[in-house]
A and B are shown apart, each in its own frame.
Chain A
Amino acid sequence: MELLSTKIAVVLGHALFVVLIAPLFTALMKKVKAYFQCRRGPGLLQGYYDIWKLLKKDAVVSEHASWVFKAAPYIIFSATFTAAMIVPSFIAVLPTSAFGDAIVVIYLLGLARFFTALAGLDTGSSFGGMGSSREMMISSLAEPVTMTGIFVLAADVGSTNFSDIVAKSLSMGYAQPAYILLALAFLIIAMAETSRIPVDNPATHLELTMVHEAMILEYTGRDLALIEWAGAMKLTLLLTIIANVFFPWGIAQSISRPAIVIGITAITIKLILLAVGIATIESSIAKLRLFRVPELIGGAFALAMLALIIKVTGLG
């Protein structure tokens, strides 16, 4: 009984951690990018202020919109949250990771994306349709890369369960050739999926650059708050996966208080480093033309396939 209650406590703590830490990283990345542009940038708590402010505002909804538009923010939020609940962040043996594995996580993000794209089409604005169209193209190309990568990870463990993958990564070592190639592929996919610079530019509202922003252009007030929050969670989730699979240092392997404290500190530091790294990459390269994006993702696919072949042939 006591075990069950500790398990529930861990799950609740994990949920709270994911939900609360997410907005930090979007603000952090803006800050870093501002630094590179010789600006001061927003404070680190700006993400929280934004969400808090938007939650209080009136919502303007298009007269053409249907219930899909109104329900989408809740679905996007809950799908992203559920996906984040399954991936271990500060503790390797997360009880909820039995509810779903890597494949479930990928397809839950697919659920969120499906409704984002539908919401983009719902208001009849041509921007929305454009965003949905581009988003579905990018994501359908990214999906094979992600799944191939997951199969590389699963090859050693014989399981697609995230807890198992992280545990294996801890014991087997992460400096394998296959993992190094894969880390690069995952980084590219993470940047494509979270609308980062070579693929999409979240800071602008120009029709040439918009993908994600175009879909959610019609959202206001609390609906926008939920979508922004879900976006921050998705970013955190993908970074967590990269951090824990390729750099699993410090993650708690048992439910004991000191281990958990170390685990939380470790994952926070790793996420901060990754976020700063990605923002640095973003600041140093230019956005690609839309039809150059398939080439980038194709590169990521080549890396993932190479990793798979290395793994399967037993070279590393």
Chain B
Amino acid sequence: MKQTQEPAYRVLTGPEGLLPPAAAIMGIHLPEDGEGLVEGRIVPEEKAMEAAAIAMLTRKNPTLFPGPLMLWGWNEHTIEKSAPFFEVAREIPGVRIIPMPDYRPIYPKIDPEAVINPCHPNLTIWHNKIEACVFIGVHCHFANITLKMIRAGTNCYTIALCAEAGHEDAMASVPQFTAEKLKNFAETLKRVKKNGIKPLYEGQGIIPSGWAQIAGLTGVEAVKPEEEMVEAGFAHDLEKGLDENEE
């Protein structure tokens, strides 16, 4: 259903309260292809990209959260996005990349520098003092629950670049986000900088966070021998955590 009148509700940077409503229930409608959402209002796509670019350049500790669809290369569409994803990263000085490789709960604790987990996304946001972030390649259900929890308890400006219909619970969202649109987002970042937006972390590259980042992006020796990392893997950490915290 097309949005016929301006909804009273706005999707603003939090913290909004203990349990904010889902924006869709409050009358926020998803945009069509070529449009975007900014704080619950439908705007042209380039306006949404611009708002997202400004937030990522000017707010503290901007972070990219690539989800499983980016990380695991499940299909052609996700694979073709990986190159422009790094183009975007390069245009945001001081950006971190913290992946969401999985939706499994990680207890007793996550390593907030290594991952963000949908069961307690606020921990990653709080620990790293993230005030702007991009979700990309996260399945819509998990993106939405995560975005709601972030809005509830943090002051993070959330951006959802969605391959499907978009996300009402993000402060900025663009639907049908193709590799082409990802390239456009990199161009938008360049343009807003050229137009006078001074990045908060001018001169800094991608800031490593977590052992995966250190190993992969900066060329620094991995904190563990590589074979041990492969052998241990993600499940190993999970099992250890569960055992330690057995009730």
- Tell me if chain B binds chain A: no
Spell out B's residues near A (CB within 8 Å): none
